Structure 1
Amino acid sequence: MSGVGSTSSVHQIMALRQDVMSRNQALQDVRAATGSPASGAQSPGNATGPAGGFADALTGALQTVSGVQRRSGEMQAAYERGEVTDIAKVMLARQEAGVAFEATLQVRNKLLSAYQDIMRMGS
């Protein structure tokens, strides 16, 4: 029966990952609609391929989150210097970085929980 629980955890993680990817796509659509420059480091098509594996998908997702946070920091610094005058774009970038971080944190929590469940199986 414990095998069923771990399968359920994997499905929950994959569902959470899909949710993160759909939110990321929605944020990219909003960014494209507002005319903000898209980050060249993001390539969501590469992370979803079946040949990449879980580690590659996780690495790609973490790099995407890092890029979003870096972009947010750059926009905030540019606003503080007076180079960017549209506060809405700055706040959107900050919100996007916050959502990306929270989603990453939730994935980490689910992975940690799944790992602990697996470690308990031998007991």
Structure 2
Amino acid sequence: MSGVGPIGGGGGIQQILAMRQQILDRSQILKDVHQATQSGAPAALVQPQGGGFGGALSNALQEVSDTQGRAEGLSAAYERGEVTDIAKVMLARQEAGVAFEATLQVRNRLLSAYQDIMRMGV
């Protein structure tokens, strides 16, 4: 009776808990950055490690690519019979789909902002 349960077994719950912890960690980092900017910390300490907006965008695209790679790997492993937890495979595919859709929306917003700027009179 392994892997049978309402959320796909213990692995699914562990993944959800790990994702929750990542969200909490990122939230704490954002709070720390916000407090540092309000306390007048030097700008060099507040800068993201990736080098600003371009670095953040590059990191986000890399994470989406990694998520899609994991989903493809799990799908291929399921097709070969190596992974038997279909819920895990479907969750990974859904996560990759949501990540791609979010990336697509960001691209659309950036493109729209660029077009608005180009239409502005000088």
Same fold (TM over 0.5): yes
**Aligned equivalent of 2:115:** 116
**Aligned equivalent of 1:57:** 56
In angstroms, what is the RMSD of aligned CA positions?
Answer: 2.8
The one-letter code of the counterpart of 1:83 is E
**Aligned equivalent of 1:17:** none
Q: Matched residues, percent identical?
A: 66
Give ranges in structure 2 of 5+ residues lacking alignment: 1-10, 20-24, 31-45
Structure number with higher helix proportion: 1
**Aligned equivalent of 2:22:** none
Give ranges in structure 1 of 5+ residues lacking alignment: 1-29, 39-43
Matches within 5 A, 1:1-123: 33-34=14-15, 50-51=47-48, 52-122=51-121
With CA pairs under 8 Å and 6+ residues apart, which has the higher RCO, 1 or 2? 1
Q: TM-score scaled to structure 2, two decimals? A: 0.62
The one-letter code of the counterpart of 1:65 is V
**For each residue in 1:62-105, what CA deviation from the matched residue of structure 2 results, as whole angstroms up to 9, or x when unmatched?**
00000000000000000000000000000000000000000000
**Aligned equivalent of 2:34:** none
Q: CA deviation at 1:33?
A: 1.9
The one-letter code of the counterpart of 2:63 is T
The alignment of Structure 1 onto Structure 2 pairs a total of residues equal to 86
